Amino acid sequence: MFTETVDSGSSTTTGIASEPHALLLLRRACNRGYAIEPQRTGGAVIRWRRTGPATRTRVLRSITLTPQTPADPSDYDLSNLRVIASVPVVRFVNSERCAMPAIAASSYEIPPSQAGRLLAQGFLLDGGNGHLRLTLSARLGLAAAKHQPMDSSDRTTAWCSCGLAVHAKNAEQADARRAAHLAAVGADFVQSLDAAFTAAVTAV
């Protein structure tokens, strides 16, 4: 579940978005060419401009999706999520070393304490047949973690943790290049969601 905050430029409204509805919003935004920026904490910000009927000026509008389950994934959490995302079957198993169940992702075992962290942050759900699946929040967090903007004393270069380093004439152009890069990342993220994941989300 997400808190959905809509900023129309002149007013702000807040509501609740289920995982299927949040996915629908992201796919609709992608189809319309809106900028989508995944957040490391599992949410997303959708931005676009629309001409105001009264002023006839271009107004920035946005939809912010914030997970209702607070999340602040560590690098270790993200590493475990990447492992889970890379294998076809993930499930709870009895651990030989611990009394509580662990998570088995192929031959990799996530210990109970770490499994509990992932569950508590809303990154895993029961996918049926005893299997676990990543939530939309988890996938958004993974996408964002690959593309963290990097601060630099050189304000004329757009830096990203993925290796992007684009030089511009001034800081404003660098910011625009960075925003365009993140928008492309968001579009690629939505388009990369496979049919199996989409079906699992919409079946909730």
> Could you tell me the two tokens for 138?
């988890």
User: Read out DSSP for 47-76?
Assistant: EEEEE-TTT-SEEEEEEEEEESS-----HH
Q: Tokens representing 17?
A: 């978005």
Listed in sequence order, the residues at least 6 apart from 5 whose beta carbon sits closer than 8 Å to its beta carbon are 12, 13, 14, 63, 64, 66
Query: Alpha-carbon distance 170 to 173, whole Å?
Result: 5
Q: What is the mean pLDDT of the chain?
A: 88
pTM of the model: 0.88
Q: Which amino acid is at 176?
A: A
**70-108 pLDDT, tens per residue?**
899 999 999 999 999 998 888 888 766 666 788 988 888
The C-alpha atoms of residue 203 and residue 171 are separated, in whole angstroms, by 45
Tell me 160's DSSP state: B
Return the pLDDT at 19.
96
